[in-house]
Amino acid sequence: MTQRFELFCTTINQIHRNLQRIKLKEMEEFGLKAIHVMCLFELNHNPEGLTLTQLTNLCGEDKAAISRAVSELTKRDMVTSNSEKKYRSLITLTEEGKSIAAKIDQKAEAAVIAGSGNLTIEQRNSLYEILTYISNNLDHYLTDDKETE
């Protein structure tokens, strides 16, 4: 059990660190941070716009971090919002944001292909299914734990 826990934790942590390093490396030319990458990526795949709350949930970050990222992206004319209501307004990409988001998509695809190596489509689908299953189980574990406190 100890070896499984150690392998699971160290492998997931290493993957996360590598993803963060890839985001930083690939976005260096734009002066963007990893959190900006995820905001631009999600907004690019939701062209109708997202609220700050929706963006927070999709990026898996806390509201304060996403709020700071959106503020920075707004200052840099990469995103815009349709209202002064901070959490309810729709955030969308500007033309500059769309251009950078398209480059992010290309770089993300290259990273996914590199990470997948020679996995078959079936192996890749199985991997994502299992990761989702584990993630959901851990969410339930945490939710059940909170309910018993």
Q: How far apart are CA 52 and CA 19, in angstroms?
A: 23
Q: What is the CA radius of gyration of the chain?
A: 18
- Tell me the average pLDDT across 13-29: 89
Look-up of token digits 């260096």:
28
Is pLDDT of 134 > 90? yes
Render pLDDT for 53-97 as a digit per residue (tens, 0 to 9).
999 999 999 999 999 999 999 999 999 998 666 667 899 999 999
What pLDDT score was predicted for residue 7?
93
Nearest to 36 by CA among 84, 85, 93, 88: 93
- DSSP lists the bridge partners of residue 91 as 50, 81
Following DSSP, what letter does each residue of 32-66 receive, concatenated?
Answer: --HHHHHHHHHHHT-TT-B-HHHHHHHHT--HHHH
Q: What is the pLDDT of residues 22-47, one digit of tens each?
A: 888 888 888 999 899 999 999 999 99
With 0.85 as the threshold, say if the pTM is over it.
no
- Decide: 70 and 79 in contact? Cβ < 8 Å: yes
